[in-house]
Amino acid sequence: MFDVLVVDDDFMVARIHAGFVAQNPGFRVCGVAHSAAEALALTRAHAPDLVLLDIHLPDGNGLDLLHRLRREQPNLDAIVITAAREQATVVRARRGGVTSYLMKPFQREDLSRRLTQYRDQSGAADGGTADQTVVDRLFGHVPAARSVPRKGLSDETLHAVEEALRAADGDLSAMGTAERVGISRVSARRYLEHLVEQGTVTVQLRYGAGRPERRYAWPTAR
């Protein structure tokens, strides 16, 4: 069981995130903080395994806070959940040992996928020796076999979808991907979601008129 500390200055958002965590097997919320000071106090009191960390806090920057939290809990892992989109912030988070970076707004499934990946990677570290497969899991690398698609998906089309995302200047919708690859929007969505499930591609929601649009991107910093 992993103890999770939720840190977000918005009381409602923090409550929602805590509810998302509680729906995932193997995780429990040990505290909810709305400031850096509260996060430090809760870390001292509960020694969490993982923190869901916002960047913009009323009394400091979340990444600065992470260094302070790790002085109290050296093995603390972090998933950043924020509206901050500056590439410099993303790069700093990655260099600071953040496990994952999730941009607001997002769906519950997006966080669940990252929690599952965290649980699997942490489980791979439980004793014994490590072969290359275990090492890849621990470092979040997708194994070379990832290009072998699940039943019903074509290897050639999967490769074409990957190349379309790599070449894109920013993110793509399922329709935009379909037009670049020359397949239907429904087919493109299946391949894109397959890549998201594997952790190869990131997805975020874009809000506008009507239903939010899912936008897919090949990570620039891996």
Give the domain CATH number at 196: 1.10.10.10
**Quick one: pLDDT band at residue 42, thresholds 50, 70, 90?**
very high
Q: Do 11 and 110 belong to one domain?
A: yes
Q: Is residue 174 part of a domain?
A: yes
User: Rounded to 5 degrees, what are φ and ψ at 92?
Assistant: -65, -40
Average pLDDT, the chain: 85
**Quick one: pLDDT band at residue 139, thresholds 50, 70, 90?**
low
**Quick one: pLDDT band at residue 130, thresholds 50, 70, 90?**
low
> In terms of pLDDT, which residue wins out, 66 or 86?
66
Q: Do 107 and 16 belong to one domain?
A: yes
User: What one-letter code names the amino acid at 158?
Assistant: L
pLDDT in tens, 178-198: 999 999 999 999 999 888 887
Q: Do 113 and 186 belong to one domain?
A: no
- The predicted model gives 193-212 an average pLDDT of 82
**Quick one: pLDDT band at residue 156, thresholds 50, 70, 90?**
confident
Q: What is the CATH number of the domain that holds 103?
A: 3.40.50.2300
Q: Do 7 and 108 belong to one domain?
A: yes
> In terms of pLDDT, which residue wins out, 189 or 211?
189
**Predicted confidence (pLDDT) at residue 78 exceeds the cutoff of 70:** yes
* Residue tagged 């790790």 (tokens): 70
Q: Is residue 211 part of a domain?
A: yes
Q: Do 72 and 173 belong to one domain?
A: no
Q: Is residue 76 part of a domain?
A: yes
Q: Is residue 130 part of a domain?
A: no
Residue 20 belongs to what domain range? Answer: 2-123
Q: Is residue 131 part of a domain?
A: no
Q: Do 78 and 166 belong to one domain?
A: no
Domain count, the chain: 2
Q: Do 9 and 112 belong to one domain?
A: yes
Q: Do 7 and 117 belong to one domain?
A: yes
Contact between 104 and 81 (Cβ < 8 Å): yes
pLDDT in tens, 10-41: 999 999 999 999 999 899 999 999 999 999 99
Domain boundary residue among 89, 123, 157?
123
Q: Does an H or E element contain 203, and which? A: strand 202-206
Q: Is residue 8 part of a domain?
A: yes
Q: Do 101 and 196 belong to one domain?
A: no
Q: Do 148 and 190 belong to one domain?
A: yes
